[in-house]
Amino acid sequence: MWGLTLAVLGAGCSPGAKEPESADPLATQEQAALSYNRLSANGLSFNGLSFNGLSFNGLSFNGLSSAAFASWFGANPVLADEVMRYVVRCAVPAGQTRTFTEAPANTVHTWTGLLGLAPGWSGGAPATVTEQQVVSACLAAHANPFGVSVPISVQGRDAQGQEIPSSPEELASFARPESCFFGNLFQGQGLYAGSQNPPLDATQSTTRACAVVDGSGMPRMTCAPVVYVGSCSAACAPDGTAGVAFASCTAGGVTFQPLTTRVRDVDLAVCGDGTCQVTESCGASNTYDACAADCGACP
């Protein structure tokens, strides 16, 4: 089993139990957005997990009991709810939910599945190391330093080796390869990211700043606990999916099953497009960090 964090699914219900579809408005909005332009929702998701969630004590397991999980959850219910929202989104298939009842007020938390990357664990079996790895990669892929939710296309294989299906329309729309993510939070083996995207130029920026590089060859932002390892092709072995994904990636002498991400060019911000984005700053130039055209001169 996955230990303290993922023990929640046994605390409120069994991992394999199916719950009624969530009535959460945000989940409904996201599901609707996933179907725009007739794109399949199979590999599409929305990022937005805070990096605090990747570092929150409890992702390193020290117990499986419901009491242990309740203690972890109660230490910071808001952040724990956010973490579990993405854990279940990554691990559990679409159409299923998982719930946890928080004492003493009996507050019910419901989390909606989407990508189904851990089918064994979702069906009630103890999580395998591969399931730990792919869910760790998925959590890293969903982290966003700006707290801005944008669509991403998640590529790779689930823990049983089944390729995440993607329609030709999805790959065409999400045409910009972005990053590879791998590691194992649950074994304390860290999280890693590499780049497979064209570098951003000085006018471009993105809320995915921890996953993309610029002309320096380094990410625009460093985002602990994720460690940048350089080019994905240098750290990873291809899996024969026409460059869409990788079979394995290695760091620190450990081999992991990774996931990769793709994004849309339209989600890149460009200095001069008339909108001061959260990734841009005032200044007296046309670069993303001194964008006079969009953000004006600094006071």
> For residue 240, what are the CA distances in angstroms to 150, 173, 247, 298?
28, 21, 8, 49
Q: Are 154 and 164 in contact (CB under 8 A)?
A: yes
Q: What is the pLDDT of residue 229?
A: 92
Is 263 exposed, middle or buried, given 0-12, 13-18 or 19+ CB atoms closer than 10 A?
buried
Q: What is the pLDDT of residue 32?
A: 32
Domain range annotation of the chain: 8-267, 268-299
Q: Are 250 and 235 in contact (CB under 8 A)?
A: yes
Task: Decide if pLDDT at 225 tops 70.
Answer: yes
User: H helices of the chain, where?
Assistant: 8-12, 25-34, 51-55, 66-75, 77-91, 119-122, 129-142, 168-173, 232-235, 292-295
Q: What is the pLDDT of residue 48?
A: 53
> For residue 254, what are the CA distances in angstroms to 45, 188, 201?
28, 12, 33
Structure confidence by residue, pLDDT tens digits, 241-279: 655 689 999 999 999 999 999 989 988 999 999 999 999
Task: Quote the tokens at residue 49.
Answer: 């997990």
Strands 191-195 and 226-231, by their bridges, are: parallel
Classify each residue of 160-187 as buried b or exposed e, where b means 16 or more C-beta atoms within 10 Å of its C-beta.
eeebbebeeebbebbebbbbbbbbbbbe
Strand partners, 200: 214
Q: Are 4 and 80 in contact (CB under 8 A)?
A: no
Q: What is the pLDDT of residue 4?
A: 32
Which of 20-34, 63-77, 222-236 bottoms out in mean pLDDT, i.e. has the lowest? 20-34
